[in-house]
């Protein structure tokens, strides 16, 4: 977890603001902003809220308690989608092979249980899941 001061400095730089500009917008001295950035002081609740607004970040992000950036979260979701696609594809291949190489099972004298049909249906569903996961993976964010 990053320190608050480091985050204030980083987001101030990203916003293209000098310490003087940020201090003026918050109604504090440049030295106060410097103290915040060097973790010698912390802003009060009101100043902290204004700081978040001016820097365009959320409180969790400024405090460094955010689990990850939105870009990292999107990357994790894309990786998960790719894993789902690969697993669904592998399951579909296994289901197709089982559909081709299984025989029917007689449950009673009148009911014939077609395992091939069930494995074929499972393969179709797995391929559909694979397609949905791939569409999500390649979707523009």
| DSSP secondary structure of 8-31 | HHHHHHHTT--HHHHHHHHTS-HH
Give φ, ψ of 54 to 5 degrees.
-65, -35
Classified as helix, coil or strand, 53 is helix
What pLDDT is attached to residue 111? 58
* Boundaries of every domain in the chain: 4-63, 70-138
> Which residues of the chain, if any, have pLDDT below 50?
1
Residue pair 56/15 in contact (Cβ under 8 Å)? The answer is: yes
Yes or no: say if 139 and 108 are a contact pair by the CB < 8 Å rule.
no
Tokens of 10: 């980083």
Nearest to 36 by CA among 12, 60, 65: 12
Q: 0.85 exceeded by the pTM?
A: no
Say what the pLDDT of residue 99 is.
77
Cα(92)–Cα(127) distance, integer angstroms: 6
Classified by CATH at the fold level, domain 4-63 comes out as 434 Repressor (Amino-terminal Domain) (1.10.260)
Alpha-carbon span 74 to 138, nearest angstrom: 12
């Amino acid at each position: 977890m990053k320190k608050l001061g480091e985050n204030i400095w980083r987001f101030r730089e990203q916003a293209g603001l000098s310490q003087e500009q940020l201090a003026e917008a918050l109604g504090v001295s440049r030295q106060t902003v410097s103290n915040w950035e060097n973790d010698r002081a912390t802003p009060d609740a009101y100043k902290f809220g204004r700081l978040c607004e001016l820097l365009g970040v959320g409180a969790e992000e400024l405090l460094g308690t955010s689990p990850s950036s939105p870009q990292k979260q999107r990357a994790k979701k894309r990786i998960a989608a790719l894993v789902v696609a690969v697993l669904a594809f592998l399951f579909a291949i296994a289901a197709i092979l089982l559909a081709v190489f299984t025989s029917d099972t007689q449950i009673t004298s009148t009911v014939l249980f077609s395992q091939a049909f069930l494995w074929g249906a499972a393969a179709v569903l797995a391929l559909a899941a694979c397609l949905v996961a791939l569409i999500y993976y390649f979707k523009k964010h």
